[in-house]
Chains A and B, each alone.
Chain A
Amino acid sequence: MIEVKNLVKNYGRQTALDGVTFSVKDGEILGFLGPNGAGKSTTMNIITGYISATDGTVLIDGIDILEEPQKAKSKIGYLPEIPPVYGDMTVESYLKFMFDIKKLTLPKKEHILEVSKLVGVDKVSDRLIKHLSKGYRQRVGFAQALLGNPPVLILDEPTVGLDPNQIIEMRNLIRKLGKKHTIILSSHVLSEVQATCDRIVVINKGKIVADDMKDSMTSRAADNKIVAVIEGREQGVISAIRNVSGVLNVRKTGEPERGCGEYMIECKEGVDIRRALFKTMATQSMPILMLHRDEYSLEDIFIKLTQGEGGDK
């Protein structure tokens, strides 16, 4: 659906993007992740035709954004970082205006009402946008992007400025829309992409540093480690754990509660020791209070991928 090939963008001598290549399949939700200033917005602005690339191509459904901009743009709904809303207009008149400049042919009133209800701005439709809160402006911007049901949605940090309830609402909405639309969503909030996206592309300093499915990315980085909080004397616990087959190494990493230790257990590749561990500790009457696999979170991966390249920005 979206084909981004070798994008280069120079601002004078500064290189904002340096050979960004990725593609998004039909109906996929792609998370575009990177620290501030990594080139997320630049990439999105190029995909939507707001700015032009120094080099490289963008194809939307096979249409080049530079060669047939109007045709390509009509397939995209774009919510920029700052919602492009006019403060001096009411929500309804703004949506009508956007409906007109998008040259849509759907039944106007019904469609605007439908979109307003979907993002939850139908109750403020006669209010001036400048009187709305940040969250509502964001929704109005989102409504604008949804007008005409474009097959592609580009959302630049859609949850910035929203309160926790609104963030959850927004995520659910994006998930729901993902069934009918191809979505690119950018964020520097890692849990957000983790919660909403099928696939994650990580960008740093204008380059793609990782392009992978979310699950394979997290499990690739995870070593076979287990973290357990166990009640009992340290020495007894450690020797008991060592007796479980498949355990390579144990060490105490902390003491979250009095009389309890947190232990990091390394086991053999591909061996799941959790059941055996449970039984062993039960017979020793050393209760396990908590047990989980120490998978790397996206945060860890992100830090791993984006560090060690200077960090001079």
Chain B
Amino acid sequence: MGAIFKRDFTSYFNSAIGYITMAVFFFFSGLYFYTTCLYTKTSDMYYVFQSMFLVIMFVIPLFTMKLFSEERKQKTDQALLTSPISITRIVIGKYLSAIAMFAICLLIFIVFEIILAFIATPSVGVIFGNILGLLLLGSSLISIGIFVSSLTESQAVAALVTFAIEFVINILDSFASTVSNDFLKNLLLAFSFRTRYNNFALGLINFADVIFYLSVTALFLFLTIRVIDKRRWS
């Protein structure tokens, strides 16, 4: 697991993809930070974090697209799957490498908070809630991205499909409001990533929200393991 993590993590930096993705993330988070906080002279990060949903929708597929698709395309999965290492460990190792990349991206918010500290006294609780929420949202989207990557041999397809799924997740709330059937509406809202994330963006940490994102992460990692295991039988 450690070896898989190390290989995939360093491989982000062996090509331009790791640097470019991080640059994109820093640029857009910086842009939102400037326009909503610095320009309007407020220390309230709610709108910045709310907008980050959109930014990570673009960034995460780039982190996850190649994790399994490229292994299959280059046939390197033959080395992994014939080694005495379980599929679970391979999947978790890859997940950890993507989440580590994502966590590095989130470090920029510490810089932002330090800048804000000059304007107003920051609330550590809110900052913690903000960053934790983004990390959890990212974690669930990363596991979805990994799952999609395990289904195809093409990086481009993996990235596009992951993005499409994220897009659906993003508009789920507005879609739910058009549903007249109360049961369906509530069902859709129960799976709303956005509502739960907005709680974090406000700085609220609900136990249920944490569990929700962790469950989604676990579910899709589990499905990835199943997909890889199943392929050996078909």
Which chain A residues have a beta carbon within 8 Å of chain B's beta carbons?
Answer: 11, 45, 48-52, 69-71, 73-74, 76, 78, 80, 82, 84-89, 97-98, 100-103, 144
Instruction: Knowing A50-B232, A51-B232, A52-B233 are in contact, say whether A86-B81 is a contact too (CB < 8 A).
Output: no
Asked if B75 and A80 sit within 8 Å, CB to CB, the answer is yes
B181 at the A/B interface (Cβ < 8 Å)?
no
Q: Please tell me which one of the listed residues A48, A69, A78, A101 contacts residue B3 in the complex, with CB atoms under 8 A apart.
A: A101
In the complex, identify which listed stretch (B29-37, B82-90, B122-130, B188-196) lies at the interface while the others stay far away. Answer: B82-90
Interface residue tally for chain B (C-beta within 8 Å): 25
Stretch at the interface among B7-15, B52-60, B140-148, B162-170: B7-15
Q: Quick check: is B74 within 8 A (CB to CB) of the other chain?
A: yes
Contact of B75 among A74, A84, A89, A144 (CB under 8 A): A84
Whether the Cβ atoms of B7 and A102 lie closer than 8 Å is no
Give chain A nearest CB distance to B150 CB in angstroms: 16
Asked whether, in the complex, the Cβ of B76 is within 8 Å of the Cβ of A84, the reply is: yes
Please state if B81 and A100 are interface contacts (CB–CB under 8 Å). no
Task: Please name 20 further chain A to chain B contacts, defined as beta carbons within 8 Å, in addition to the given A73-B83, A84-B76, A85-B76, sorted by A numbering.
Answer: A11-B234, A48-B82, A50-B81, A51-B231, A51-B233, A70-B86, A76-B82, A80-B78, A82-B74, A86-B76, A89-B7, A97-B7, A100-B3, A100-B6, A101-B3, A101-B79, A101-B83, A101-B85, A102-B83, A103-B84
Q: Are A88 and B3 in contact (CB under 8 A)?
A: no
Given contacts A82-B75, A100-B2, whether A74 and B84 have CB atoms under 8 Å apart is yes
- A residues in contact with B86, CB < 8 Å: 70
B176 interface hit (Cβ, 8 Å): no
B-chain residues with CB within 8 Å of residue A48 when the two chains form the complex: 82
Q: Is the CB of B83 within 8 A of A98?
A: yes
Q: Are B74 and A52 closer than 8 Å at their CB atoms?
A: no
Residues of A within 8 A of B84 (CB): 69-71, 73-74, 102-103
Which B residues are CB-close (under 8 A) to A76? 82
Q: A74: nearest residue on chain B (CB-CB)?
A: B84
User: Could you write out 18 A-B pairs with CB less than 8 Å apart?
Assistant: A50-B82, A51-B232, A51-B233, A70-B85, A71-B84, A73-B83, A73-B84, A80-B79, A84-B75, A84-B78, A85-B79, A87-B74, A88-B15, A97-B7, A98-B79, A98-B83, A101-B83, A101-B85
Given A50-B232, A51-B232, verify A86-B7 contact (CB < 8 Å).
yes
Query: Which A residues are in CB contact (< 8 Å) with B74?
Result: 82, 84, 86-87
Chain A residues, CB < 8 A from B15: 88
Q: Cβ of A103: which chain B residues have Cβ within 8 Å of it?
A: 84-85
Partner of B14, one of A88, A100, A101: A88
> Would you list which residues of chain B between 203 and 234 have a CB under 8 Å from chain A?
231-234
Nearest B residue (CB) for A99: B3
**Chain A residues in 8 Å Cβ range of B83:** 73, 98, 101-102
Complex: how many Å from CA A100 to CA B232?
Answer: 24
Is B20 an interface residue, CB under 8 A from the partner?
no
- Chain B residues within an 8 Å CB radius of A78: 78-79, 82
Interchain CA distance A50-B78 in the complex, whole Å: 6
